[in-house]
Structure formats: C-alpha cells, structure tokens
Structure 1
Amino acid sequence: MRANLSHYPMAALLLSIATSSSVLADEVASYAVDITARISSDIRTRGVSDSLNRPGAKITVQVAHESGLVALAEFTTVSKKQFLEGNGAGVLLAGGYRFGDPEAWHFGLGLAAEMFPGAQYKAPNRFDFNTFTLTDERSTNYNSQFAVLEIGYGALEGRVARVLSKTYRGANTGGVCGTLLLYREDPTKGLECYAKGDRNSRGSMLYDLDYKYALGMNTSLKLHAGYQQLENFSEGNFADYGVGLLHHWWGVDWGVDWVTTKTRARELYLADDDGHTRATDDSSWVFSVSRQF
C-alpha cells in the first residue's frame, strides 16, 4: 500500500474572505459568515482526483472578522480506496490573518490542518539488500499541517504553503518507494529509492497561482497554475493547470473546469479499484453546482 500524493489540501481557501454574505454586528466588531454546499462530477485537489474520478460533495464554513482574522472548516467526501481504512471523509481546518487592499496589494498568513479520519496504510520502510527482502513495516496516516503565505494583487492570487508535519499526505519511504517497486515493471527506481534510506516529506512546498476575470452576464473566467515540490522525493513533484467558467443563475453557481497535470511518476497517482488500476491524474472536465447560504 502507498501514500496518497494527490496534492494540495485546498489551502487556496485558507485566506479567502467572503464578499457576498450578510454582516452581523455586535458591540465590538462585525464579521461575515458563509456556508457553501457544492457537488461536482469529481473531487479534484490541484488537478488530481481525491474521489477516484467519481462524483463527490463538499461543505465549506467560513468566518471572516473585520479585523482581518479568518477561520475555515471544510468537509469533503473522498475515496476509501485512495485513503485506505478511512471513513470516506476529508476535513480541513484553517485560520489566518489577511490585510491590505482587496482591489490592490493584499497579503495573508495562516496555518492549516488537513485530516482524513481513520485513514492509514501499512508499508515496509526498509529494503534489506543482503537478503533482498522488504522489512520494517509501519502504519502511516495521511494527515498534514501547513504554514501558508498569500500575496495578491486585485484578482490575481499567489499562495505558497510549507508542510510542517512529518509527512505530506503520508509520503515517506514506505509509501513512495514501495509504490515505485510495486507498480513499475522495472524495479530499479524503487530499489534506488529505498537505497537512499528512511526519509519523510516534511518541508515540502506547494505553490498556487489563480486569476479570476469577470466576463459579464454573471459569468467569470478562472485560470489556475500550481506546482508541488515533494521534499526528499522528487518523483512526487508535478505541475497542474486549470481553466474554467463559473456562471451564477437562479441563485446557484454552475461551473465547468478543464484540469490537467504533468506528473513525473504516474505510479504515485494510481489506485486499486477492486482489481482494476485507476489513474487519478488524467486530464478531465469537472462539472460542479454550488450554493451559498
């Protein structure tokens, strides 16, 4: 079994402040609360499917205080065949501070934690080259923690996240090297990976750049580019791109996105589906419907 390296835990949402919700006032200050429900044909995280290329749902609760403090909780359906032994749910909790002019330069700092309750996998973390056997089997979860920096100008948003936890989505020697050894016909890359010793992915860097442009008639164009730099495991590095349209009609946002990835080792983005191997990094159209309450 292996780590699930399908990318970034929606840190792009970490520092976004609601712009179309009612403001509640108290004696001290005001704040805005948004609740958004979304269903889509696929749950994609920076171009890679977390739902094994199948439909899923997401609920986001976001609170923004006038001081610039932001808090977010997000609940997502994910595939149990990718996040092994879990209950099919992903949870993102985040908090941060944003300042500046939303129409010009603006900045943000925050922390985020992504969790997959109960999900874990077992894999050998060492290869004994004397006996030519795999040893030191351990359990690893998929949970991750991040520090996030945001820099934007108007509708252009750039974000950088650094992984603070021991692993990023479970990426360690057992998860990465074991997967290369399991799925590649030529075992050389897997053995070379094990030969580098026991490593983790703390310090991985995640980069995102997003732009949203109003086309008129309640329609917006969305552009995205991202890059994942996996610490100690360059095999897991990849770039992702996306372009989409969002149309507001009947109080509902209707979206269509084309997403694509450029992975270096596709084996890390394969999943077993009842005896069939499925790629989760294929280019795809993603259709979505969301409503804000």
Structure 2
Amino acid sequence: MNKLIVLAALAGAIHTSEAHADEPAIQSYSLDVEAKLLTDRKNRGVSDTYNRPGAELTMEAVHESGVVGYLQLGTVRKEIFPDTNGLQVTGALGYRWGNPDGWHFGAGVAQEWFPGAKANDAPTGIDWTTGEPTGVTNTKFDTSYGVFEFAYGAIEARYLYVFSDELRGNNTATICGMTYLPAVLAGGDPGKAIACYDGGLKHSRGSHLLDVGIKHKLDGRNKLVGHIGFQKMRHFRDADLVDYKLGIVHTRWGLDFGAELAGAVLRNRELAVVPDSAGNTRKVDRAALILSLSKRF
C-alpha cells in the first residue's frame, strides 16, 4: 500500500512538472513599435519638415523592473536644420514607478541627434561701424535633456531641462544671424539685430520645457488626444512659446488614422519665418490640420 501511495505521488509530481513546463513563460518586458506617416511633422508646434510631410519610427521597451528605453527616428528638412542628412534620432533611458491606475512617475535622460546638421561661420557679434563680424562660430543642433514625468490616469506631463550648450542649436549666432541680420544686409533697420547681439555670445543651456497631454478613449475605435506645451528659453525671451494640439485617432484594419489641429504661439513670430534656398519664406509655427497614418507592431 505504501509503495502505491509513493508511486502515485511521484506520478502526480511528474505530471505537475510537465504541466508547468508546457505553460508559456511570462515575459518580463514589453516592446512597442510604431511606424507613422504625417502631412507635417512638428516639434513643440513648430514644423521640423518645413510644413511638408514627414515620417517617424518609434520604439519603446519597458522592463518589469521599471527600466524604460526609447528610440525614435524621424525626418527633418535642410531649411530647418542646415546640412542635415534628413534624419533626427532621439534616444532616452529612464525609470518609472508608481501605480499605473493612479499616480505614477518617471525620471531619465534623453538625447537628440541631427546627423550632419550644422550652422557654419555664423557671426557671434558685429562691428556696426564697419559691418564686419567680430567673431564666428559653428553650431550643431544636438541636444541633451534631463527628464521628469508624472501622470494620473489619462493625463500625463513631462518636464525637460536642457543640459547641452544649446537647445536645438539656439544661440546668439544662429538666432540673430538667421532672423535679424538678413534684414540689415538687405538695407533694413539694424535696431533689432543690434539688440539681439548685445551682450556677446549667449547659449540656451538651462532652458525649461513642459508638456501636458491627455489621451481619452471615446469608444472601442476612437480616441481623443490633446496637448499643451510651454517653452522658456534661457537668454532668448523672443523664443518663448506655447504650443497646442487637439485631435482624434480612429483605429480600423489594424491602422490608426489621425487628424489633429496643431501649432504654436511664439513671443516673437519672426523667429518662425524661415527662408528656403530660393529666398522664399514660410511660417513654420502656423496652425495646421495634420493627418497621420500609423501602424503599431
């Protein structure tokens, strides 16, 4: 009798072990990938694609420990980022914690790269008696950030602090040289250029950025998306802005169809008037209806 009990218990243990072996392992991480086409690709309400179509590929990996990795490849235009090869790369690494159904938080670092993009030999100052530059500099657009996130339910917010010397290449040489100096060279009033160059070469390190967004499900196929953002650029009050976005996303056939109204309100809209190689200009902060098509994997 005892032998029968031992054999039965052993058989049950073997069966249980085999059952556990057949069960699928629970993944300790998730990976989300999204490919997207847009009629205009904006950053903080200002077009990176010169009011023209763009595309992006976004990947986000989240480990059960809370570690988060983010990578995005996006298209940009030479009118906005001189000498660019047309690509922007954004990478981030951080940690998230808290209650997913309540308050939750995140902290990390992020970096933007603009391969090849550079503003060469931009004047850092002007001798107004001779009209000659008192110095020149080369500026890249790569930017590094410290990031802090906080969210509750469908509302999420993100604060960024600029660690690099420049916020997307913004300094005295690029802002004054690209916005105000051309008017002087064309015979216009030099007053704004003189005021801009006053104080020598200044950088935008220490700028503050804040984004607040909402994603609200209307039903099984439709989602409302909204966003408002604030930019406070150090040393350059004219570049302070508020950006906004309001739209809807409809899911069908495994695709996301989006339509949103997006734009920005700059303190000085002259900074958003950008010329092309032929001398024609566009306002890249204008409000626009942006259509998008995306696929999640």
The TM-score range, normalised by the shorter chain, is 0.7 to 0.9
Gap regions ≥5 residues in structure 2:
1-23
Residues in 1 aligned to 2:25 and 2:170: alpha-carbon distance in whole angstroms:
44
Aligned position for 2:177: 178
Aligned position for 1:168: 167
1:195 Cα shift?
1.2
Aligned position for 2:10: none
Give structure 1 regions of 4+ aligned residues with deviation exceeding 6 angstroms: none
Q: How does 1:246-257 map to 2 (within 5 A)?
A: 246-257=249-260
1:182 Cα shift?
2.7
Bigger relative contact order (CA 8 A; separation at least 6): 1
Q: How does 1:4-15 map to 2 (within 5 A)?
A: none
Residues in 2 aligned to 1:47 and 1:183: alpha-carbon distance in whole angstroms:
25
Q: Partner of 1:235: helix, strand, or coil?
A: helix
Q: Partner of 2:292: helix, strand, or coil?
A: strand
**1:90–1:114 CA contact under 8 A, matched in 2:** yes
Among residues 241, 246, 263, which one is paired with 1:243 in the alignment?
A: 246
1:211-241 CA deviation, whole Å, 9 max, x = no partner? 1111114111111110111111111111011
Aligned position for 1:47: 45
Gap regions ≥5 residues in structure 1:
1-23
Higher relative helix content: 2
Count of matched residue pairs: 268
After TM superposition, the structure 1 stretch with the greater mean CA deviation from structure 2, 229-238 or 130-139, is 130-139
Q: How does 1:82-161 map to 2 (within 5 A)?
A: 82-122=80-120, 123-161=122-160
Q: What one-letter code is carried by the residue in structure 1 that aligns with 2:127? A: D
Among residues 30, 33, 37, which one is paired with 2:31 in the alignment?
A: 33
Q: What one-letter code is carried by the residue in structure 2 that aligns with 1:112? A: A
**1:180–1:187 CA contact under 8 A, matched in 2:** no
Aligned position for 2:77: 79
Among residues 279, 283, 288, which one is paired with 1:284 in the alignment?
A: 288
Residues in 1 aligned to 2:124 and 2:270: alpha-carbon distance in whole angstroms:
18
1:134 Cα shift?
2.3
Aligned position for 2:199: 196
After TM superposition, the structure 1 stretch with the greater mean CA deviation from structure 2, 258-267 or 109-118, is 258-267
Q: What one-letter code is carried by the residue in structure 2 that aligns with 1:285? A: L
Residues in 2 aligned to 1:170 and 1:71: alpha-carbon distance in whole angstroms:
25
1:102-145 CA deviation, whole Å, 9 max, x = no partner? 22101000100001001001210112245443231111010000
Please report the RMSD computed on the Cα atoms of aligned residues, expressed in angstroms: 1.6
Q: What one-letter code is carried by the residue in structure 2 that aligns with 1:290? A: S
Aligned position for 1:263: 266
1:250 Cα shift?
0.5
- Larger-gyration structure (1/2): 2
**1:183–1:267 CA contact under 8 A, matched in 2:** no
Aligned position for 1:58: 56
- TM-score normalized by the length of structure 1: 0.88
1:180 Cα shift?
3.4
**1:241–1:261 CA contact under 8 A, matched in 2:** yes
